[in-house]
Structure 1
Amino acid sequence: MPLVRPHIRTLNPTDSLEALTQLLHAAYASLAAQGWNFTAVDQSVEVTRSRLAGAQAFVAESGGRLVGTVAVRGPKPAGETYIADPPPPLYTTPGTAILSQLAVHPDCRNQGVGERLLDAAEAWARSQGHARIALDTAKPALALQQRYARRGYAPVGEVQWHGKTYASVLMLKSLSAEAAP
């Protein structure tokens, strides 16, 4: 049975964080199989809730089921942690939004859902007055880096998060048409 084209909307307080966490686990399972212990591979519902604190989350919904998600927020205040680590300076720079937890259920990949979620997150960041948007991904995950590069994200540094089996690449995109990262 073909899926209904997913509708992109903001995460509602009535949405199930259990269902959102299960979506993250399903979407990140292929990365776990490659030996990359992204937080979303096995995070608890409490970690999902914590990662969404202060963020605007968007979801893709199809037939009443969450099939995609992304979160975006402004810069971290000084002293706030990023999961359990101090954030890199990029994540505390005024005017820089932070993108996280992009996930599309394996059943819905290659249908433009991820692009539409990124469009929503970037539009939100612009509407909040942010000049740039940043993210991090596993350094060995070349396909993910290439995907972000096609959208205008450029590598600007690296970070080693505590407990991760890989180093991460920090990527940045200018949200103005004229400037480059």
Structure 2
Amino acid sequence: MNRVPSPYSNTARRLHWLIVALVVIQFITALTMPDIGPNVVPGTLINLHLSFGLLILIVMAIRFVHRLSHPVPLEAAGTPPWENTLAHLTHRLFYFILLVGPFLGWASASAHRLPVSLFGIIPLPALAAPRARWALQAGDVHAWMMWALLVMIGLHVAAALYHHFIRHDTILRRMLPGR
């Protein structure tokens, strides 16, 4: 495979793959933890889910600031305008979901009287009063956003593979680690 110059810095690529790993861990904990309800007792999986959600928020905030200070073109040569528009929209949605989603989950945890801390080391304040209706609804929005994120990830991976194997362009290779 030829070396492909990438407009993405090493930092951008590392942050991308760190987010990928954290989101995979997050989905695993989400699928294995008990349902959050009025009588849920905080346990290891719930605490891990909340902690990894906070970690995603922190890393995404760093990634967002890095992206603003190191902009890169998403377009590849010869890409139709509709693909470029879709790429921009998709990236904005990824940032939105991964920056807003953790706050919604945190608010929901607060409404369910679940303590939120970063791996039990740094306790964080509640974002909502116990049983606050808006925060309980935020938990539902959080769940739907995460299912949407899962669909978007599938489409994102499919698009990267399409560009690599069908279009034979550099879209996938420029984000691969170690380039």
Q: TM-score, normalised by structure 1?
A: 0.23
Give 1 or 2 for the bigger CA radius of gyration: 2
More strand by share: 1
Q: TM-score, normalised by structure 2?
A: 0.23
More helix by share: 2
